[in-house]
Every structure is written in C-alpha cells, then in structure tokens.
C-alpha cells in the first residue's frame, strides 16, 4: 500500500503533538495503574472498569493507534456502536472494525470520559488469562510520559509538567533517543520508535515495542542463525485482532541497544507487512525491556532505562499494596499464605529434588487469587483456589541450592485457571 503524506495529514499530526492532559482525562497530572503479573516480564496487563462494570483485563499497548474492546464486552454491556473505519492490519490488509463509545473508563486512578474504542474479535489471551481489550496510544497519548515499573508492579502516566518534577529521580538512568518514523509517514500506521541496535554483530533498525511480549527480527536478517520450532499453536496477534501463525523462532547471538546487552535472545519472525524490511527490521519487546524500569518521554523522542533491583523480596510488601482492596487485609502473612521448601531424598538419603509447600491462610479472600514465589533465581506462579482454604498444596521442583528459601514476592486477585493434567489440577507453574 502506498504511503501518502498530505498537507492536511501533516497539519493534523502537528496538532496531535500538543503537550498537556488529553481530552476526557479526569483530575490530576499523574496516574498510577496496577499491573497483573508484572514479575512474569510479559505483556502489560491491567484491570479496567467500563461504565462501572468489570473489572476486565486489558493489555496496555502504547504502540496501538487505537484502543479496542472485545466483542464479548460490547455485547454484554450493550455498548452503542457504529460502522467504524477500515484500518490496515499487520498482514497489510484492510479490516473493518466497528467503533463503540464508552462513557466512563477507569484504569487505576485514571478516569476517562466519552472515549471511543474499536471492537475486535473475541478470544485473546495473555499470561494464561483471558484478555478483553487493548489500551492504545489514544490513552497512552503522545502528550504524556509513560513509565513501566515492574519492581513496584505499576505503570504511571505523567503530564509533561508532572514529569519535570519527577525527572530528577531518573538522574541515574540511561537516555536512549529514538527516531519517530510517524514524522515521515503520518497516517500510514501506528508510530514506530526506531533505535539502532546491534543484533548478531549487524546494525539493525528496531522498533521499541512496548506492547510486544517477544522481540522479533525480519527473517531475511536472521540467515545463519539457529532456529527452534514453536510447539503448539504460536500466534502473532496485532492491535486489530488479526492473527498470523508462528512456526519457529530464531536465536540471536547477541542484542545490544546503547550498551545494554542480552545474549542468546529468542526472537520470533517479524510479521508486520505494512513496513519494508529496510525501514523496520524487527522489534525490541518486553523480554528485553522488562530487564529495566523504563519511561517513554514521547514529546522528546527519548526513552529512559534504569536498572531494576536485584532482590525483589526487598519491596515485596509495598508491591502487594498496589491493590487498593480489603481482600488481603485480614491476613497475617504476605499473600495470605505461607511457603516453605523441603528436600526430596532417595532411598539412600541423597537429595534428588525439592518440594514446594504452599499453605493458604484460613482468612484468605474467598476468591481465586495468585501468589508469585521466588526460589533462588526461579519464579513460580501459584493459583490459590477459593475452595479448600488452609489445605497445603505441594509442588515438586528441581533441587534447590543449600540455603535457598521460598519467598512470596507478589499477589494478585486476577489468577489464571489451574491446568488440568491427567485429571488432576496443577495450580503451580514455573513462570521464569
């Protein structure tokens, strides 16, 4: 499809860069949004209320041009819609999406009034949970600063004035400038924030993808790399709900951005056909970005990178308090449960493994909820079913190193369902 830069488009683009609070935003100049499963280092998930109904889990995708809501929610809440517009998806095909009006949207302590969302097909999932929509760049607006702080379990939005007051706290951060591709091709697709990266010894132009879980590379730039087949049904889902199958992934020997390096990086094929592979050659996703506390200062075309803390148990209590709910207040232990490790020994008294024991408190909330457990450098997610309070859950794990202990480092009222394996419920899983 041709890229056309019109005088009208340029004028609209320049008007869209105004610095200030977006239309429809409620009071304040700084807003905090709690994240679901931030320590899994995957998609940015947050609970959203729509017209005082919910909560529903949405993905925060600062790169999506428009916010979107699942057709199931449109039908359930009888949202008023209209035909909408045709939009180019990542297959480079025009798809028509209906548009609905949401009178009141609440996400964290932010309230947005009278906003329009596109409707997309049902069935998306992220981090084992059903997802009902996307919060895009019409809310994570270019006039704001967008912070992702997984250590605290939150994202924040700042007006530019609020960010200037907060910026001294980022004096130790690395600043990485990017090239905003939408400056040249306004109206074509969503903005692309391009940085130069060294990938496998070659200079590549990669998009900083705040809404992507995995980094990606165009297959033409992965020649000679090791590849791995994707088992099961891997899919690339864009912001319009269009899907493409992924059958393999590449292993990049090294990925370096502004001196920040990861080795042996798993990169899926870059499948966005709206761009030529000389313009955008891949993406840097959450698997890389999640190693840092990041803040996108869109108005200045800069992203700040700050190292995360090494010991996530240090601020576990503060992290869990991001949920402004009374559900966990009657418990004596963080996460309303106790955890411990026991050695598993063979008949000749040799340690051959370890058993993780999880005991929910009787005062735990009468809902399914999830705790995140750290054992050394491994993290486990455990869904605590609403039934059987006080009953101990057992999970065999690989042998723990002497001196290692199990600690609860996070809690969430939005738990994934337990897996069913040979008729048994398995509620503990390795998350990283």
Write down how long the chain is.
432
Query: Which range among 14-18, 308-312, 392-396, 408-412 shows the weakest confidence by mean pLDDT?
Result: 14-18
Confidence grade of residue 329 (pLDDT, cut at 50, 70, 90): confident
> Which DSSP state fits 73?
H
Residues 28 and 80: beta-carbon distance below 8 Å: no
Q: In 3-state terms, what secondary structure has residue 403?
A: coil
pTM exceeds 0.85: yes
**Cα–Cα distance, 57 to 42 (Å, whole number):** 14
Residues 59 and 135: beta-carbon distance below 8 Å: yes
pLDDT > 90? residue 196: yes
In a 10 Å sphere around its CB, with 0-12 CB exposed, 13-18 middle and 19+ buried, how is residue 231 labelled? exposed
Read off φ and ψ for residue 107, nearest 5 degrees.
-140, 115
The answer for residues whose C-beta is within 8 angstroms of residue 148's C-beta and 6 or more apart is: 44, 155, 210, 289, 293, 294, 295
In this prediction, residues 319-348 reach a mean pLDDT of 85
In this prediction, residues 186-205 reach a mean pLDDT of 80
Q: Return the pLDDT at 324.
A: 82
pLDDT > 90? residue 65: no
pLDDT > 90: percent of the chain: 50
The answer for residues whose C-beta is within 8 angstroms of residue 407's C-beta and 6 or more apart is: 313, 316, 339, 373, 374, 375
> Which DSSP state fits 213?
S
Query: Which range among 150-164, 194-208, 236-250, 297-311 shows the weakest confidence by mean pLDDT?
Result: 236-250
Q: Return the pLDDT at 309.
A: 92
Q: Return the pLDDT at 56.
A: 97
Which comes out higher in pLDDT, residue 399 or 76? 76
Q: Per-residue pLDDT tens for 264-287?
A: 988 999 888 777 777 789 999 999
Three-state SS string over 241-259 comes to CCEEEEEEEEEEEEEEECC
In a 10 Å sphere around its CB, with 0-12 CB exposed, 13-18 middle and 19+ buried, how is residue 309 labelled? exposed
pLDDT > 70: percent of the chain: 89
The answer for residues whose C-beta is within 8 angstroms of residue 290's C-beta and 6 or more apart is: 41, 42, 150
Query: Which range among 22-36, 287-301, 363-377 shows the weakest confidence by mean pLDDT?
Result: 363-377
Task: Please give the helix or strand (H or E) that residue 13 lies within, else none.
Answer: helix 7-15
In order, the DSSP letters of 24-42 are TB-S-SEEEEEPBSGGG-S
Range of 205-214, 406-415, 422-431 with top mean pLDDT: 406-415
Query: Which range among 146-160, 251-265, 303-317, 392-406 shows the weakest confidence by mean pLDDT?
Result: 392-406
Phi-psi region of 211 (alpha: psi -120 to 50; beta: other; left: phi over 0): alpha
pLDDT > 50? residue 24: yes
- Domains of the chain with CATH codes: 16-174 (2.40.70.10), 177-287 (2.40.70.10), 327-430 (no CATH)
In this prediction, residues 95-110 reach a mean pLDDT of 92
Retrieve residue 345's tokens: 């020994």
Q: Return the pLDDT at 116.
A: 92
Q: How many other C-beta atoms lie within 10 A of the C-beta of residue 388?
A: 10
In this prediction, residues 76-103 reach a mean pLDDT of 83
Mean pLDDT taken over the chain = 85
**Cα–Cα distance, 371 to 40 (Å, whole number):** 12
In this prediction, residues 87-111 reach a mean pLDDT of 87
Q: Per-residue pLDDT tens for 336-389?
A: 899 998 877 777 877 777 888 999 888 888 889 999 999 888 899 999 988 766
Q: Per-residue pLDDT tens for 136-176?
A: 999 999 899 999 999 999 999 999 999 999 999 999 999 99
In this prediction, residues 417-427 reach a mean pLDDT of 81
Beta strands 110-120 and 94-107, pairing class: antiparallel
Q: Return the pLDDT at 231.
A: 67
In this prediction, residues 28-37 reach a mean pLDDT of 97
Q: Per-residue pLDDT tens for 220-265?
A: 998 888 888 876 556 667 766 677 777 788 999 999 999 999 999 8
């Amino acid at each position: 499809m041709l890229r056309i830069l019109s005088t009208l488009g340029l004028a609209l683009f320049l008007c869209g860069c105004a610095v200030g609070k977006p239309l429809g935003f409620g009071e304040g100049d700084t807003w905090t949004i709690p994240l679901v499963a931030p320590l899994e280092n995957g998609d940015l998930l947050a609970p959203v209320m729509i017209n005082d109904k919910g909560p529903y889990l949405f993905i925060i995708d600062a790169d999506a041009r428009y916010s979107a809501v699942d057709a199931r929610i449109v039908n359930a809440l009888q949202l008023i819609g209209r035909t909408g517009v045709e939009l180019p998806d990542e297959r480079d095909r025009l798809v028509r999406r209906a548009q609905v009006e949401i009178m009141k949207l609440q996400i964290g302590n932010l309230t947005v009034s009278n906003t329009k969302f596109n409707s997309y097909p049902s069935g998306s999932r992220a981090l084992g949970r059903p997802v009902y929509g996307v919060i895009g760049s019409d809310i994570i607006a270019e006039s704001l600063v967008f912070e992702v702080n997984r250590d605290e379990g939150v994202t924040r939005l700042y007006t530019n004035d609020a960010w200037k007051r907060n910026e001294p706290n980022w004096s130790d951060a690395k600043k990485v400038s990017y090239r905003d591709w939408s400056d040249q091709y306004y109206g074509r697709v969503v903005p692309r924030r391009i940085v130069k990266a060294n990938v496998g010894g070659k200079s590549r132009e990669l998009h900083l993808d705040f809404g992507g879980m995995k980094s990606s590379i165009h297959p033409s730039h992965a020649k000679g790399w090791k590849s791995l087949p994707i088992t099961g049904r891997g899919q690339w889902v864009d912001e319009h709900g269009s899907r493409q199958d992924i059958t393999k992934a590449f292993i990049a020997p090294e990925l370096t951005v502004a001196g920040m390096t990861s080795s042996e990086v798993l990169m899926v094929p870059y499948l966005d056909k709206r761009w030529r592979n000389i313009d955008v050659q891949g993406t840097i996703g959450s698997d890389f970005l999640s190693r840092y506390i990041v803040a996108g200062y869109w108005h200045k075309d800069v992203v700040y990178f700050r190292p995360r803390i090494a010991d996530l148990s240090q601020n576990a209590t503060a992290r869990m308090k991001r949920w402004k709910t009374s559900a966990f207040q009657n418990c004596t232990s963080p996460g309303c449960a106790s955890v411990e490790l026991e050695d598993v020994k063979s008949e000749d008294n040799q340690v051959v493994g370890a058993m993780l024991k999880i005991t929910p408190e009787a005062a735990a909330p009468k809902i399914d909820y999830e705790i995140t457990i750290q054992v050394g450098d491994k993290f486990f997610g455990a869904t605590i079913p609403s039934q059987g309070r006080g009953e101990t859950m057992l999970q065999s794990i690989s042998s723990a190193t002497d001196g290692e202990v199990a600690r609860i480092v996070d809690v969430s009222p939005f738990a994934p369902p337990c897996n069913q394996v040979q008729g048994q419920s398995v509620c503990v899983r390795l998350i990283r």
